[in-house]
Amino acid sequence: MAIREIRVFGDPVLRTVCDPVVEIDEGVRALVQDLLDTVDMEGRAGLASTQIGHTLRVFSLHIDGELSYVINPEIVALEGEPVLTGEGCLSVPDLWFDVARYPRATVRGIDLDGHAVEIAGDGLLAQALQHECDHLDGKLYLSRLDRDTRGEAMRQIRTSSWF
């Protein structure tokens, strides 16, 4: 459908807890297509609906050259001990910080036909599943930083060219 503009830090939609999709209609189909079109670029691993201004519980992924999406995703399993992993976010451009993430994650939801889907993985996939579900819960990865690092992130944001 279309490549959408990414909402950036400070936009209130990024703090919105998303509503579940209750009916798969043309609007939801268009949203999924827009998420897939917008994430399908070099350097993009995932995109949540809030990042393009919507508040339905949907995200898209672009991992290892494969595009996917999940409607109404819920994390059903996190495995291993959290590990500090370098992380960035399209909604907080040019910042990169270590965030504690579980090394393996499993998400369940549905597809556009209403069929159950499950995505499980480790590494970048596990990180993206957790990151995108955080977005749908109204959280940016900055909220997972320790106090000092979050303060440094805020200083960098205030002096950035995009803020």
Q: Which residues are catalytic?
A: 132
Residue 131, SS3 per DSSP: helix
Strand 104-110: give its sheet, edge to edge. 46-48, 58-63, 66-79, 104-110, 116-122
Residue 42's identity, in one-letter code, is E
How far is it, in rounded angstroms, from Cα 128 to Cα 69?
12
Comparing CA positions, the residue from 114, 119, 37 lying closest to residue 77 is 119
Query: Rounded to 10 degrees, what is the CA torsion of 125, 114, 35, 138?
Result: -70
Strands 58-63 and 66-79: antiparallel
C-alpha distance from residue 111 to each of 26, 51, 69, 106, 137 (Å): 14, 20, 7, 16, 19
